[in-house]
Structure 1
Amino acid sequence: MKKTLFYLLSIVAFGQVQAQKDFQGMAVYESKTQAPKLEGMRGGNRDITPEMQKSIEERMKQILEKTFILNFDKSASIYKEEEKLENPGQQGGGMRIMMNSMMGGGGTFYKDVKAKKYIVDKEFMGKEFLVVDSLPKLNWKLEQETKQIGGYTCYKATAVREASKADFRNFRPKKEEDKKEDAKKETSEKTTNFEDNFEMPKEITVTAWYSPEIPVNQGPENYWGLPGLILEVNDGKTVILCSKIVLNAKEKVAIKAPTNGKEVTQKEYEEIVIKKMEEFREMNRGRGGNMGPTMIRR
């Protein structure tokens, strides 16, 4: 009798271990970034009319709204933008590629929370890169405040992270007093440029909502490290909100790291992007504005 009981308990224990090993989930996230107001952009470019400016802002808004899929298990995850078919004749392809590169966009974002590293394949200016680096360690402050997201009880957590200079989403509008101070320094030869109305902060405060009911320390993009799946992230400009969760589906997804591209660190990749952005800015300064008609109509 004892042997039989021991045998049954062993089967149950093995089943629980196996279930944990095979545990997998899928979460759908809707990402929305506030499109910047292009006020002042027309200062050095008389070809841009108010109607064109409004059209550009609307197009940017569409580009800044994305859907992502996160497939995860206990130790790793892949986060990738949902592929959408563009309408025939849809304009803005060149602008979409450029902005996606400047917004931290990439192919597959792989996180291994056990090894504390990430790998993401990115395409920038026609070149493929494979960014390999350590996962950023955020000092999360756990709060008692709760709310419901998709039927799951979520808890609030906040953290301060360093702003990536290569991520367009991190730009913030300058305060009016800073604009006035900059205007005093301007010379008669300097034109008004789009980037003159914005600045890159050194740090950004992030608010996240996580659910201990899904016991994995995963989340969208490079967010991780909380005692439950992160279902919402808000950094003041970008909101990433989970709209659907599926746990332990019959069909499993292979969670594998991408392998294509020239291997670089995050710092090396950011230096490449910043250098190209500066070259692009200087090129357009020579044309008398920050964003010429050629780029807008692509």
Structure 2
Amino acid sequence: MRNITLLILLLSASMFSQNFQGKAIYKTHRKIDLKIDNKKGAPNSEMQKKMQAQLMKQFQQTYTLNFDKSKSTYKQNKKLSSPQVQTGGMQIQIMGNGGGTDVLYKNIKDKRYVNKTEISGKRFLIKDKLENFDWKMTGETKNIGNYTCYKATKTRKETRTSMSMTDGETEEKKEEITIETVAWYTPEIPISNGPGQFWGLPGLILEVQDGKQTIACTEIVLNPSEKIEIKEPTKGKKVTQKEFDTVMDEHTKDMMERFKNRRKSKDGNSFSIEIQG
């Protein structure tokens, strides 16, 4: 028995040696809160169903996490143009970032990240410290594929913003909400990494439920035959996360103003869209 245990330990040490590499494929989806009303009364349920289905489809994306023991890159697999949904003469554009051109680099050892992203063709390089997640271990387990995973949770306060528009006039509402994050990690792949900004657990994170967003691993390849290059992005205007958030808020307001001026509602429709974590 002692010989078998020693063999397992030696194999594990070999698998996760200094040259250890791997990649994990993740799929994402998000629940959408969408409400469309008209002046005359009941909600336009048919339009609402069609738009909600299309919006949900736009948030179904596939990402690849390339990793070694201390570094990783996380990138969307297919570049998509800014999602637009048009139903009944109404067009909604989901305001976001560069999508398929984004690269998120994490350095777990140095506890920092670099995120290359774009807004309206302008490239930014966000450099900041990784968030120190205060994970709470629950002891609960489940299997994901061939891996035994353990559950960890955390909560955070967040300001949720919703916008509605009636006859070209925009109304913005903000409220403070608590968002719960549930992560499932496997110690069988003992690296403190995961999809997106998530990290800090004693094993690779294979699944995350972050509010209304779900990220699920569908494939893992360890030590592939072709060497994986994990490069830190270097091009773009260097900003902190706080500075970028300010730029993003201004961009969103500008887009809403343009939409309002272009629309000058003639049919009396009003709508509100909430997309939050």
1:66-215 equivalent positions in 2, closer than 5 A = 66-83=61-78, 93=82, 95=84, 99=94, 101=96, 107-161=102-156, 163=158, 199=174, 201=176, 203-215=178-190
Match of 1:37, SS state, is strand
Query: Greater RCO between the two (CA within 8 Å, min separation 6)?
Result: 1
Deviation at 1:106? 5.7
- Corresponding residue number in structure 1 for 2:254: 279
Structure 1 residue 193: deviation in Å? 7.3
> What is the rounded CA distance, in whole Å, between the counterparts of 1:263 and 1:82 in structure 2?
24
**Counterpart check, 1:58 vs 2:44:** no
Q: How far is the alpha carbon of 1:161 from its aligned partner?
A: 3.4
Q: Structure 2 vs 1, CA of residues 156 and 106 (structure 1 numbering), >3 Å: closer, same or farther?
A: farther
Which residue pairs with 1:22 in the alignment?
19
User: Sequence identity, in percent?
Assistant: 38
Quote how far apart the aligned CAs of 1:257 are: 1.1
Q: Distance in 2 between matches of 1:144 and 1:195?
A: 45
After superposition, the Cα gap between the structure-2 partners of 1:290 and 1:75, relative to the gap in structure 1 and judged at 3 Å, is farther
Give the total of aligned pairs.
Answer: 248
CA-to-partner distance for each residue in 1:47-80, whole Å, 9 max, x for gaps? xx76554433222111110111111111000111
Match of 1:238 among 213, 228, 240: 213
TM-score by length of 1: 0.71
- Give the residue type in structure 2 aligned to 1:233: V
Greater C-alpha Rg: 1
3-state SS, counterpart of residue 257 of structure 1: coil
Q: Find the counterpart in structure 2 of residue 270 from structure 1.
A: 245
Identify, as 1 or 2, the structure richer in strand.
2
Distance (whole Å) between structure 1 residues aligned to residue 151 and residue 162 of structure 2: 24
Question: For 1:224, which of 188, 199, 202 is the aligned residue?
Answer: 199
Q: Matches of 1:229 and 1:217 in 2, distance apart? A: 6
List gaps (5 residues or longer) in structure 1: 1-12, 87-91, 174-178, 180-188, 292-298
Counterpart Cα distance in 1 of 2:29 and 2:142: 20
Letter in 1 for 2:84: M
RMSD across aligned C-alpha pairs, in angstroms?
Answer: 3.6
